[in-house]
Amino acid sequence: MIPTTGQEPADPARAGMDADQIARVLARFRRQQADGVFPGGQIAVRRRGVLAVDEAVGIARGWRSNEGMASVEFTPALRSCVFSAGKPLVAIAVARLEHLEKIDVERPVASYWPEFAAAGKGDITILDVLLHRSGLYLREIERDWRHYGDWDGVMARIAAAAPAFRRGTLAYQPLGFGWILGEVVRRISGKPIARFLEEEILAPAGLDDLRLGVSAEEIPSLARSYWVDPKPPSLGGEVMVGFEEAQNSVEQLTAILPGAGTVGTARALARFYAWLLDGAKGIEGRPMISDALLARYTTAQTRGTDRTVRVPMVLGRGFGLGWFWPHPFGWWRTRECFGHAGNFGTLAWADPTTGCAIAVVTNGNRAPMKLVRRFAPIGSGIRAACAARSRSLGRS
């Protein structure tokens, strides 16, 4: 089982990984920070129940001179909003309900949330939402970040919204994914999604270092999110005005944003993926989600070029999947990997081929197409560390 108290020291050798190869991965991570790819960040790797890597580098807050504060160094324990890297938590909440036979994901959303059927959405299923194929694109609601804290108001606007695309169209939903599934979870369980996750998933699994949203008083303790690319931030060709203002706002960070508001560390995300690799067991040792059901969430279910972000995707239910060609998970042959990016500077994933659970959390955001150059060398380097150790043991 993954330790639930204290913090064990990182030890690549005890995890069956080559220390020299890991040193090269960490050197690359530090070099990226020194070259200005991101102001600061964390990297954590777990394998075989062991914390193999747990490093931090750079500046968490106070990187810009106009912030009016002294710079704060990143540490492994300093928390960040990891944005869409938390989408898999929402998917796992739905999987838990499916395991308990309280939900049928092939039924329409409106079966559980009747108001959702308005404006031609009656046939959209929960599975459509999990696979980003509902046809909804809630851009006007997503832009209105000053009102994210009004859950009922957001739900009323979603219920009234019409699809932007034909049902079945691959159209990634940055916030709609979590909002819709979060409301479905609430309607079925009677618990708001944040409480359901805490009580039904995170605490029973020993993963109580991840959460949705923070209090206003906690915001100064979080890492700050920065846009560091020379080109302005854009989504699907549309310039995202006020990116840093919104991402660091009290309104966004204190709201419950199931698809984009998870707060935690690289350590915490790596533990989540290690938990999935270990069979999603509760602290008493019984599976919280069956192996067969978990496989439906973490293996490829759909693929295509997305209509909103406009990049090719392979998706499970709430998870991004790798492929043969270069991918943020690694340079080659990452088909078995599953995980999710957060904004444009964080990535967490599981690599079943090596048994590694990996998380890289940074506060520097760049264009989405640059994710491969940033993260693929790290993923491939971690794979090389496992292979090198295996070869070394084979010769001994």
Residue 193 in this model has a pLDDT that exceeds 60: yes
Average pLDDT, the chain: 93
Distances (CA, A) of 351 to 16, 276, 303: 15, 11, 19
Where is pLDDT greater, at 21 or 208? 21
Q: Is the pLDDT of residue 310 over 90?
A: no
10-16-20-25 Cα dihedral, nearest 10 degrees: -70
Query: Residue range 323-344: average pLDDT?
Result: 96
Query: Span 52-56, mean pLDDT?
Result: 97
Nearest to 38 by CA among 80, 93, 101: 80
Whole-number Å distance between alpha carbons of 40 and 259: 23
Instruction: Give the start-end residues of each E strand in the chain.
Output: 40-47, 50-61, 72-73, 80-83, 211-212, 226-227, 234-235, 238-239, 262-264, 302-305, 312-315, 320-321, 338-342, 346-351, 356-362, 364-365
Residues 6+ apart with CB under 8 A from 29: 41, 43, 55, 57, 360, 378
Per-residue pLDDT of 1-26, as tens digits, reads 344 445 688 899 999 999 999 999 99
SS3 category, 167: coil
Contact 24, 377 (CB under 8 A): no
CATH of 13-395, one of 3.40.710.10, 3.40.50.10800, 3.40.50.720, 3.30.70.141: 3.40.710.10
pLDDT reported for residue 176 = 97
pLDDT of residue 396: 43
Phi and psi of 4, rounded to 5°?
A: -110, -5
Tokens of 240: 């995202």
pLDDT at 308: 87
Domain residue spans in the chain?
13-395
Report the pLDDT value the prediction gives residue 391, as an integer from 0 to 100. 53
pLDDT value of position 6: 53
Res. 238 pLDDT band, cuts 50 70 90: low
Instruction: State residue 233's pLDDT score.
Output: 78
Where residue 364 falls among pLDDT bands split at 50, 70, 90?
Answer: very high
Residue 355 has pLDDT above 50, yes or no: yes
Mean pLDDT over 160-181 rounds to 97
Q: How many Cα atoms within 13 Å fall on the side-chain side of residue 314?
A: 18
Place 101 in a pLDDT band, splitting at 50, 70 and 90. Answer: very high
What is the model's pLDDT at position 318?
Answer: 98
How many angstroms separate the CA atoms of 104 and 112, rounded?
10
- The answer to whether 112 and 188 have CB atoms below 8 angstroms apart is yes
Can you tell me the mean pLDDT for 132-147? Answer: 95
Partners of 349 in beta bridges: 339, 358
Write the pLDDT tens digit of every residue in 66-86: 888 899 999 999 999 999 999
Q: Give the pLDDT band of residue 242 (cuts 50, 70, 90).
A: confident
Q: What DSSP line would sit under 240-278, residue for residue?
A: -TTHHHHHT-HHHHHS--TTT-EEE-HHHHHHHHHHHHT
> Looking at residue 3, what is its pLDDT?
41
Does position 237 have pLDDT exceeding 60, yes or no?
yes
